[in-house]
Amino acid sequence: MKITTATFISSYADVKKCPAPDKPEFAFIGRSNVGKSSLINMLTNNRKLAKTSVKPGKTQTINHFLINEEWYLVDLPGYGYASVSKSTREGFGKMIEEYTTKRENLDCLFILIDPRVEPQKIDLSFIGWAGAQGIPIAIVFTKADKLKKNELQKNIAAFQRALLQTWEELPPMMITSSEQKAGREDILEFIDDVIEKGSQS
């Protein structure tokens, strides 16, 4: 897939105000500071599309971007950020839970994981929760350039082992680096395949 246009459409904290669910939608989520905005900008070849920040928890709304006039890329708030209020932290946040469970045109939720750290309880919990809700998910490992290849493979294997304690079959997984533009084609090809299968059904 070649991305020719990427247009900011809306930013809302209320799921009901999101654009009409009339196009395939692919959302990105992860712990704060996992590299979500950088990944979105890398995918779209637009450094200014999603706002990047050194301060975690910057995204507090559901941000829709229209890609090629055909599908939506959605930037979701991070989960597990310590400075948000306790009521927001209960569960994974009402906004996130409502969007991911009720948005009928959500074709895939990409869950971003930082492979530099050992498997985090919040990531495993969120993936488990999403699986139990029947939300279609894929795992995206970010910042691959920050590790040596053998370290990266070892850490990803540890994450897969942690998941297999509760999952019979692992969800699709992709490895990316926003710095090196690695994994870009893998994600776009995956999205293309999902859209094509949807149009055939």
Q: Encoding tokens for residue 172?
A: 């699709």
Task: Note the pLDDT of residue 61.
Answer: 87
Q: What is the set of domains in the chain, with CATH numbers?
A: 6-200 (3.40.50.300)
Q: What is the pLDDT of residue 92?
A: 60
What pLDDT score was predicted for residue 54? Answer: 47
Q: DSSP code of 146? A: G
Please give the single-letter amino acid code of residue 114.
Answer: D
What pLDDT is attached to residue 60? 77
Predicted local confidence at residue 11, as pLDDT: 92
Neighbour tally for 113: CB within 10 Å? 25
What are the pLDDT digits (tens) for 7-63?
A: 999 999 889 999 999 999 999 999 888 999 899 999 999 988 887 654 544 557 899
How does pLDDT run across 130-172, given as a tens digit for each residue? 999 999 999 999 999 999 999 999 999 999 999 999 999 999 9
- Positive or negative: CA dihedral 151, 170, 165, 106: positive
Q: Which of 6, 24, 15, 58 is nearest to 190 (CA)?
A: 24
